[in-house]
Chains A and B, each alone.
Chain A
Amino acid sequence: MSETLKSQNSSPRLELLNITKQYPGCLANDQICMTLMPGEIHALLGENGAGKSTLVKTIYGVVAPDSGNIVWDGADVQIKSPAIARDLGIGMVFQHFSLFETLTVAQNIELCLSPSQLAEIGDLDARIRELSSRYGLNVDPTRYVHSLSIGERQRVEIMRCLVQSVKLLILDEPTSVLTPQEVAGLFDVLRQLSAEGCSILFISHKLHEVTEICDNATILRSGQLVADCVPKNETPATIAKLMVGDLAEQDAGYEKAHGEEVVFNAQKLTLAAKQPFGTSLKDVNFSLRKGEILGIAGVAGNGQEELMSIISGEDKRNLKDTLFLSGKDIGTLSAGARRKQGLAYVPEERLGRGAVPDMSLSENTLLTHSAGFVKAGLVNWNAVKQYAKSLINQYSVKCHGESAEAKSLSGGNLQKFIMGREIGQQPKVLICAHPTWGVDVGAALAIHQALLTLRDQGASILLISEDIDELFLLADRMAAVCNGHLSPVVRVEETSIDQIGQWMAGTFIETDTTSEAHA
């Protein structure tokens, strides 16, 4: 159906001509040209920092281009603000949602409508219900946003665009926060929109999704357009090559390992949420064996953050007879003391938690790795610098030396550095959260190999990720969290994406009320 629409309507909806945007010290977009037809689903691909965000922000009127033209429905336009973009019929769903949690769905949608639009719509609740049933969005206008799951919130954002009769919908990494089933639902909505003539610009890191849903793809690399392709004619591997350039090696299947000796275990871990909208942990049981990677899947906000901070000791509440490292109860030790016992941690936020933005890489090395560098309370800065240099070399961290500030590194390079720093402490247990989130393909490969090397050296790794493909690639055993419950733990060979997806949605909670882990 979308094919017929496209042939009927041969003039492009949006044309970008030589869009150029220079930021201090970085050419974000260099003469980018792109054409979008009505009803086309167009992928925008590239590594982190390739200029995708800048380009879509230009279209949405958040960023003003230094030069270049935007042609909308055949007319030259200047999109000076998001309001102008919305008036033209451009809608955008950001990666980080912009919804007020304390307002209802309808109130949130009302906020971005002009009085004339509101008058035109009349009964907003009825309009939301109508659109909701038409696209199968399942959005209830009277619910409060804080009571919605991430997937539901995303549908509210999409609804916000639909209410304004959108002609171009831009989605920034829409699937990164969804379960596989939710992704399928989203794709159905997108296909239906496309069939009705709405153009869709889709930013993603997940190549198989792009090949599944997109008609065309534009690939950016360091601000330049490197290729236009038809994803259906490509494989994820060939697209990846276009994105990163000549990167011969790709992530292939890795050998699975299975240890015997239990190094760490959590027993009956129940913990009330600290924040009003946090998640309480409910009777979480699992054990981590020597030389294995235990993957924990789950949609963000289902207790991962709480689980990691209570294990790492950042959550300072004491727990007795719950957390054991090498048989020793560590539940009452401070985060620093747990580190000394051999627990290392790569947190989700690299900048601002895993590393201090305004400090050098040497100083950031000392942040968690002080063993051998501090004598009688004094720091041997020369030794720290030498060691930081060796980390930079060993993990191919791109930076201008060990005195570079952490914030000057790209996400992927900083993550390689943090990973190297934590691995360098030769931990017994490494907790690793979303290690390749927002990291480019090349760095992700390096990080994966570093994790596997650490595993093969006999360490145990707790890998928490929203990227289900990554978990299947790396983990030896797997479980899923949903609403603070942990599913049974299974060997990766004995499960499927489908089963894990259902566990992420919480199906195990009813069927397995004791939620006893099959350790």
Chain B
Amino acid sequence: MIRVQARTEQSRLMTFASPLLAIVLTLIFGSILFTALGKDPLQALHVLLIMPLSDAYNVSEMLVKMGPLLLCAVGLSLCYRANLWNIGAEGQLLAGALGGSAVALAFGDSESMWVLPVTLLGGIASGMAWSAIPTYLKLKFNSNLILTTIMLNYIALYLLIWAVHGPLRDPMGFGFPESALFSDAALLPVLSDSGRVHLGVVFAVLAALVAWFILSKSHLGFKIRVYGADEPAATYAGFNANGISWFVMLFAGALAGLAGVAEVAGPIGQLTPNVSPGYGYSAIIVAYLGRLHPAGAIVSAVFLAILYMGGDLAQIEMGIPIAVVGMFQGVLLFFLLACDFFIRYRLVSSRETVA
């Protein structure tokens, strides 16, 4: 008989093997699904996973999707390390897009070199402001961070929709719910000849490296880890719990805000209601798949970006519905959490223990 036994120490091997195992299981699940849909599973997986990397254009588009995922995931990793369950990256991203757009549009046709930096700062500040609300509510009234951040995601979305229907709507836009196109001075420089990959990707990788440095080298990063791992120990040591909460939440808000403004000032070039295909939510999966480590987040952000890209391609090439991507993500997180069980537990046959 096989039974479950607690491990004496957490398995380091499983910590890293678990994401890989989860990916393999997800692919097996996907193959079964595609077969059931009457599609060739090998071709479907090829389109989904290999094609996004097949040429320079696809890689460039994949990186466009990786940028916001990584920016949000890095901030979330820090929050989760500190045991703060911030589900609000989506809202903070939308707030960043909205705030950044307002700044960019206010500059009009100005060609000043300050337009872009101030636009980006506007987005960052908006994201921070949006994450400051639930942080304040938690610290002041001990409200549930998960609930407040989720609710603020919807508020941010409807605020954005209101803005493109109202104050930020392009007066020359025939009534479409979209802003005017940003001036060239407000757009992020594009990095490659083919595709739309832009400076935002560089910001994302830099953010991951900065977060890595903070966590591993700085005293503040150490305090974040202690606070998340063992709050009574942090209190005992005299760490400033409020300061740590504010730091990680504002850091996450700033990065998500940057992700949002980099979308509107990057590939989109204007504010539309469809700024994000759920980057802020997928970033939760990216953070976990990357083991809440900023460097791990880089790898997992690439993987999720490939899935996003592959989903688009699968729709075009094989007529597979785009909802499959969402399901793939969900199943991936499901398998990941299931596999994480084996970090702390293992299976043994009971005969072995008697011996």
Chain A residues engaging chain B, CB cutoff 8 angstroms: 22-25, 66-67, 312-314, 334-339, 345, 347, 349, 352-359, 363, 366-368, 370, 374, 377-379, 381, 405, 408
Contacts and interface: CB of A to CB of B under 8 A. Distances in A.
B353 interface: yes
A352 B8 contact: no
Contact of B226 (A24, A356, A408): A356
B229 A358 contact: yes
A67 B354 CA distance: 8
Interface string B212-229: 000001111010011001
B240 A66 contact: no
Chain A CB within 10 Å, residue with most, of B218, B236, B240: B236
**7 closest A-B pairs (Cβ-Cβ)?**
A336-B238, A335-B238, A356-B230, A353-B232, A374-B219, A356-B233, A24-B8
A66 to B, nearest CB: 6
Given A357-B230, A378-B218, A334 B240 contact: yes
Contacts of B9: 405, 408
A338 B237 CA distance: 10
Given A314-B235, A367-B226, A336 B218 contact: no
Contact of A24 (B5, B229, B232, B236): B5
> In the complex, which of the residues A336, A337, A379, A381 has the most CB atoms of chain B within 10 Å of its own CB atom?
A379
B246 interface: no
B46 interface: no
Contacts of A405: 9
A338 B236 CA distance: 11
Contacts of A381: 217
A427 to B, nearest CB: 13
Contacts of B353: 22, 66
A314 B231 CA distance: 12
B219 A352 contact: no
Contact of A353 (B8, B219, B225, B236): B236
Contacts of A335: 235-238
A379 B236 contact: no
Contacts of B237: 335-336, 367-368
A408 B7 CA distance: 12
B192 interface: no
A377 B218 CA distance: 6
B239 interface: yes
B326 to A, nearest CB: 34
Interface residues of B, number: 25
Nearest to A364: B233
A379 B222 contact: yes
Given A335-B235, A337-B238, A66 B354 contact: yes
Nearest to B241: A316
Contacts of A312: 236
B10 interface: yes
Contacts of A334: 238, 240
Given A352-B232, A405-B9, A363 B354 contact: no
Nearest to B219: A374
A202 to B, nearest CB: 30
Nearest to A379: B219
Interface in B314-355: 353-354
A314 B235 CA distance: 6
Pick from A67, A338, A349, A367 the residue with the most CB of B within 10 Å. A367
Given A336-B240, A358-B10, 10 more contacts: A67-B354, A336-B238, A356-B229, A356-B230, A357-B230, A358-B230, A368-B236, A378-B219, A379-B217, A405-B9
A354 B239 CA distance: 13
A359 B354 contact: no
A366 B216 CA distance: 13
Contacts of A23: 8
A486 to B, nearest CB: 23
A334 B230 CA distance: 19
Contacts of A356: 226, 229-230, 233
A345 B233 CA distance: 12
A353 B233 contact: yes
Contacts of B10: 358
14 contacts: A22-B353, A24-B5, A24-B7, A314-B235, A335-B236, A336-B238, A352-B230, A354-B236, A358-B230, A363-B222, A366-B222, A377-B219, A378-B219, A379-B222
Contacts of B219: 366, 370, 374, 377-379
B239 A352 contact: no
Contact of A345 (B5, B220, B226, B236): B236
Contacts of A24: 5-8
Nearest to A355: B233
Interface string B1-33: 000011111100000000000000000000000
A349 B354 CA distance: 34
A173 B243 CA distance: 42
Nearest to B232: A353
A94 B237 CA distance: 32
A367 B233 contact: yes
A184 B226 CA distance: 44
A334 B239 CA distance: 9
Nearest to B213: A378
Nearest to A66: B354
Nearest to A405: B9
A377 B239 contact: no
A327 to B, nearest CB: 21
The interface centre, meaning the residue of A66, A378, A381, A408 with most chain B CB atoms within 10 A of its CB, is A378
A67 B353 CA distance: 11
Interface centre among B219, B229, B233 (most CB of A within 10 A): B233
A353 B237 CA distance: 9
A479 B235 CA distance: 28
B220 A377 contact: yes
B352 to A, nearest CB: 11
A337 B232 CA distance: 17
A337 B240 CA distance: 10
Nearest to A314: B235
Contacts of B240: 334, 336
Q: Which of A313, A334, A338, A352 has the most CB of B within 10 A?
A: A352
A379 B214 CA distance: 10
A363 B220 CA distance: 13
A266 B9 CA distance: 44
B226 A359 contact: yes
Nearest to A334: B238
Given A24-B7, A352-B230, A358-B229, A314 B217 contact: no
A380 to B, nearest CB: 10
Contacts of B8: 23-25
A22 B235 CA distance: 37
Contacts of A363: 222, 225-226
B198 to A, nearest CB: 32
A334 B6 CA distance: 39
Nearest to A374: B219
A334 B237 CA distance: 10
A339 B218 contact: no
